Each structure stands twice: as structure tokens, then as C-alpha cells.
Amino acid sequence: MTKKIKVADYIANFIAGLGVHEVFMITGGGAMHLNEAFGSHPDIKYYCNHHEQASAIGAECYSRINGLGVCVVTTGPGGTNSLTGVVGAWLDSIPMIVISGQVKNELIKKNKSLRQLGVQELNIIDIVKPVTKYAVLVNKPEEIRYHLEKAVYLAKSGRPGPAWIDVPLDVQTSFVQIEELKGFKDTTIAPSPEKRILKDQVSEALNLLKNAKRPVILAGGGIRLAGAQADFLKLAEKLEIPVLTAMSSHDLIPSDHKLFFGRPGAFGGERAGNFIIQNSDLLISVGSRLHLWIISFDYKNFARDAKKVIVDIDDAELRKPTIKPDIPIQADAGEFIREMFAQTKERSLPNYVEWISYCKNIKQKYPVVLPEYKKQKKYVNSYYFIDVLSKVLPEKEIVVTSDGTAFSCTFQSFKIKKGQRLITNVGCAAMGYGLPAAIGASIAIGEKRVICLEGDGSIQLNIQELQTIVHYKLPVKIFVFNNNGYLAIRITQEAYFKSHYVGSGPESGLSFPDLLKIAKAYGIPAIRISNHKNIEKKIKVVVNSEGPTICEIIMDPHQPLIPKVTSAVKPDGKLISKPLEDMYPFLPREEFYKNMIIDPVEEL
């Protein structure tokens, strides 16, 4: 006898069968049977957010920790509200599944000139197709297993990303016979090259390494996506060459590891990392898409004297105009790492003592957190604050940040310990990411403590999620940098528009409520840190408190976010970017030239 099941219940069973036992959801009429199925499933706990953007971001960050996150939204605005989280997952290659409700099949418009037929009807699939691995309207109940299996497979295979399943109300309520449902079998995807090709390419890369004098590895987020963190450290230690980390992968290696030498980048990067990568003669980039934030807008001068071995699972990344690989390798980062490690057993490689000595000297010479930051009497210096916070936090802590000040200061100066995670969304870089992402992270680890770093401007975009934290009693410690506006925008307006402020602070149309009063309204304990007096003690009080806590950090509204790569405006209005190694504040030219092994770029 065959067993019948309602499609909505089949979907919930399928998700639970993947080992996903928490979903992010906002209820809605178009998803009412999905809501009931997930809400009554014995192996699934649903978490209700207060905006679908937060549900999608929560699922995205959950995926970063547990492998696959799921959010359930309704039709129309439920889908469109979630787009920022989906775009973030797409750009950062994070697998996740969005399941949306839709109007009944008979009320889905067939005439393209008709804007809408059903209530809150919207063709969400055509909207999300460009930013998903798979997006489908399931208009036949008997195809539900096929589409679910295909969505999960594609979301997690090759270069990962989000997938979207849109389920009409009449399909949600239909009954299907489980034994008769057709499954999905892949017959098209070949995510990595033939082993022979990869073997030859790795051999060629090792030949370059043997002849190099100043090699460096740039470790990207693709290493973690491939589950190859431990294998990568083994390879790095075998090769004994300097390791730099891309923005999505700072937590791959502890900051005190003998081979870790910095974080290159135009914004959110370090002088040391930039000098090292620019002076290298061989760059092995593994699993990094070499975002412009890393290579700078003067990308033609990025690692200009280095041979470039670029490893990426996505062939399009190897062919983009901002990077010219000498050896482009389309491969899974883990497969490349394991193949290179295997071949190193058969080779003797030179040591790079002189180069390592240069790297150590540069790293010691140019710390991000300068001594004068600690001596600051008025306000809290954000770099010094992050330095103290990173000393306080133990191993295996999860730290989540939003964009802006919270991102740049943290990613420049946070010192990683073993097992810690440092998470933000690099590709979308959305304000408002931190709070819902911290919720997703806490849920992913069993509702345990997570550190959230937000800005006073950024938190406003998802401030409603404070109630989600309160409702579920999540022990999220929320540190909010208060610089009385949008500091990064204010700095830009000072640099390029003669301090003509527009929408960057109270004097130009932008203001925020008193955060401590907001915290009180939500019933969240809160404190304010206005200077460096007893700062470590105060941070410890927040970190070790019970339940959720808010800590407001009062910054100088005009504190520089430095070092960074800047651009000059020419008389004709053209922007000319400085090369990656020449960061602002500019070093005395004699000192700068002394740090350069290769020829500097001619001054513009």
C-alpha cells in the first residue's frame, strides 16, 4: 500500500531529513500550509523574525556554520523583502534554500501584459533567477521531490549558492504518493577538472615555486567552503611560505601562527599584508575571487612582478578583466590543496629564510593598532577597542559584524585565536547584516553566545530583530559603535566634497534614537563605554553577562578609518587610485621606498 502525504508536510520532512532542524520564518497567507507543516514537525524548530530580510540573513549565517540554512517566506513582499540576504549568499557563495508560498496555480497570471491576478501575486522566480543556483515554480505536486533534491544538490555543488523553491497554495495542499515521486540525478555538472589536468597544473605551479624567491599564499573563503581548513594548514606548514588571508577567510589561521603575515586590502586591509603581496614574485591564490577590496581599484598594478597561480572553482572568476593568471586552475580548493600536498612529498623545495625575515620585519613595523590609540583620553578608539575585545574572547568564539566601521576596524585589528570564527558578508556588504546574522549564528550552535559588532547606523536597518533575540533569549552580546552617523560616508564627503555633508549625520538629515532607551524598551540590559578607563573590565562584564546585552561604544565622530588605499581627483575629474602598497596616511617617501623590493609605481 502506497503512503500519501500532503506536499507541505513532504517539504518539511525533506528538510528535516537533510539534518536541518531549525528554520527561519515569517508567516503569511500565501505560505500558510508551509507554516503549518514546519510549525508542527517534531524534528524542526522554527524561529520567527520580524522582517524577511532578517530571515534570509539568519539562514545565510546559519549556513556558514552548519552547512545549509533554510528560510520560509510568503508570496509578494515576503519574497522581495528577503532579496538582500539571498544576494549576499549568492555573492559570498553560501548554500541556502528559500521556500516561498505562492498564489494558487489558477491565479498565476499567464498574460505578460497583466501586472497581477492573484492577491499579492508576484513572479518571484524571474526576479531571483540571476542570483540563485536554481529557482523554480513547482506547479505540479508530483514534481516536488525532483525539485527539492535538485535545489539542494545545486546549492551545495560546484561553487555554492542559494536556491529558491516557489510553491503555490494548491500544490502545498495536494497529496502525493511518496513511492511514486521522481527523484533527481545529476548528469551535467563537472565541478573540477580531470585529475590528470589538475596534476599537471599543480606540477607547473610547484616548478614556479621552486624558482621563486618571494612566494606567498593568499587563502580565500573557498578553502572553508571545500572543508579543507586542516589540509590547508598542513600544506602551508609543508611549504613554509608566508600566508595572507582574504576578507572572508581571516579565521582560517590563528593570528599568532608563525606563517601568518597579514590581511591585504584597499579598505579593511593592513600595510604589512599589502607590502608583502605587492613585493612577492609568486602569488598562489586559493579559493579567493580577488575582490577589488583586496586587489584595489589600481588592479593593473596588483602583485605586478609576481607570477600568479589562481585557483577557483568558477571559470568566470579566472577570466574576469581585473586579474591575469599565469596558471589559471579551475578546481575545488580542497582538491588542489590535497594534490599539491601529495606532490610536495616527491620534491625538495628551497627555504625562503630571507623573504620570511622581510615579512616578519614588515609585520612588526606596521601594526594596525598604534600605541597612540591606547593613549586617547576622549572617546573610544575603535581599533583599540577591537584589540582589547580580541584579547578577552576565548578560543572557538563566533564574532559577526555588519558593514562600515564595525567591519573595517574588526577585520583589520581582530586577532584570531584557534577555532574562532570572524563572519561578515563581503560581497553584498549590507548595512543591517550583523544583528540577524548573529541570530542565525547563535541558533546554529544551540542558542549559545555570539558576539555581534554593529554600527549606530547599520543597526537601524534591522533593529526590530532585538525582539527576536529577546523572545528566544539568545545570549547575543551586541557592541554598537556610535559615531553619530555614517562614519565611512562622512570621511568620503570630507575627502572628495570639501566636507559638504549629505545624509551622514545630524547636521545633514540623519539622526538616531538614544540606544540605551531603545534597549530599555526591549528589556535588554545595556551599558555605555565613553572612554578607555577600565575598558577591559567593562568588556568582560558584557561578554560574561547572562542573556542578551547591548554595549554602546562612543567614538569620535571624525575618527579616521586607516590605513586605507585612497584615490586622487585630477583636474579633469578623473579618479586615479593609488597602488595597493601605498596606503594613507602616506609614509615618508624614503621609508616607503626602503620597504619596496620591486620598483615602485611612478608617482601620478
pLDDT digits (tens, 9 = 90+) for 329-341: 999 999 999 999 9
* Mean pLDDT along residues 407-420: 97
For residue 584, being part of any structural domain is answered with: no
Instruction: Please report, for the domain that includes residue 389, its CATH number.
Output: 3.40.50.970
**239 falls in which pLDDT band (50, 70, 90)?**
very high
Do residue 175 and residue 221 come from a single domain?
A: no
End-to-end CA distance of the chain: 80
For residue 499, being part of any structural domain is answered with: yes
Instruction: Please report, for the domain that includes residue 320, its CATH number.
Output: 3.40.50.1220
Query: Which of 192 and 102 is assigned the larger pLDDT?
Result: 102
For residue 560, being part of any structural domain is answered with: no
CA–CA separation, 359 and 516 (whole Å)? 45
Residue 242 · residue 216 · CB < 8 Å: yes
Do residue 383 and residue 489 come from a single domain?
A: yes
**188 falls in which pLDDT band (50, 70, 90)?**
low
Q: Does 530 have pLDDT greater than 60?
A: yes
Do residue 219 and residue 334 come from a single domain?
A: yes
Would you state the pLDDT for residue 540?
98
Would you state the pLDDT for residue 189?
54
Would you state the pLDDT for residue 386?
98
pLDDT in tens, 271-323: 999 999 999 999 999 999 999 999 999 999 999 999 999 999 999 999 999 99
**574 falls in which pLDDT band (50, 70, 90)?**
confident
CA–CA separation, 569 and 577 (whole Å)? 9
Would you state the pLDDT for residue 109?
86
Do residue 333 and residue 283 come from a single domain?
A: yes
Question: Mean pLDDT for the chain?
Answer: 95
Do residue 335 and residue 405 come from a single domain?
A: no
- CB environment 588-597: b (16+ within 10 A), e (fewer): eeeeeeebee
Nearest one of 368, 442, 460, 369 to 400, comparing CA atoms: 442
Nearest one of 49, 18, 22, 98 to 444, comparing CA atoms: 22
Q: What is the 3-state secondary structure (H, E, C) of 363-403?
A: HHHCCCCCHHHHHCCCCCCHHHHHHHHHHHCCCCCEEEECC
Final residue belonging to a domain, choices 365, 389, 419 = 365
**106 falls in which pLDDT band (50, 70, 90)?**
confident
Would you state the pLDDT for residue 192?
52
For residue 333, being part of any structural domain is answered with: yes
Do residue 256 and residue 401 come from a single domain?
A: no
**408 falls in which pLDDT band (50, 70, 90)?**
very high
What is the domain range of residue 268?
195-365
Strand, coil or helix: what is 586?
Answer: coil
Final residue belonging to a domain, choices 180, 212, 234 = 180
Do residue 353 and residue 456 come from a single domain?
A: no
Would you state the pLDDT for residue 604?
59
Phi, psi of 549 (to 5 degrees): -145, 145
For residue 566, being part of any structural domain is answered with: no
Do residue 337 and residue 403 come from a single domain?
A: no
Q: Does 1 have pLDDT greater than 60?
A: no
Q: Does 595 have pLDDT greater than 80?
A: yes
Would you state the pLDDT for residue 193?
58
Which residue stretches of 18-168 are H helix?
Answer: 32-40, 52-66, 77-81, 83-91, 124-128, 144-156
C-alpha cell at 434: 550583523
Least confident of 48-52, 491-495, 547-551: 491-495
For residue 585, being part of any structural domain is answered with: no
For residue 572, being part of any structural domain is answered with: no
Q: Helices then strands (H, E): number in the chain?
A: 25, 22
Do residue 435 and residue 490 come from a single domain?
A: yes
pTM score over 0.75: yes
Nearest one of 326, 327, 218, 215 to 273, comparing CA atoms: 218
For residue 83, being part of any structural domain is answered with: yes
Would you state the pLDDT for residue 568?
79
Do residue 383 and residue 357 come from a single domain?
A: no
Final residue belonging to a domain, choices 365, 386, 413 = 365
**2 falls in which pLDDT band (50, 70, 90)?**
low
Residue 254 · residue 416 · CB < 8 Å: yes
Do residue 510 and residue 550 come from a single domain?
A: yes
Q: How many domains does the chain divide into? A: 3
pLDDT in tens, 345-366: 888 889 999 999 999 999 999 9
> Please, which residues bridge with residue 455 across strands?
481
Would you state the pLDDT for residue 473?
98
Do residue 268 and residue 409 come from a single domain?
A: no
* Mean pLDDT along residues 143-147: 98
**569 falls in which pLDDT band (50, 70, 90)?**
confident
Would you state the pLDDT for residue 349?
87
CA–CA separation, 257 and 250 (whole Å)? 12
Would you state the pLDDT for residue 228?
97
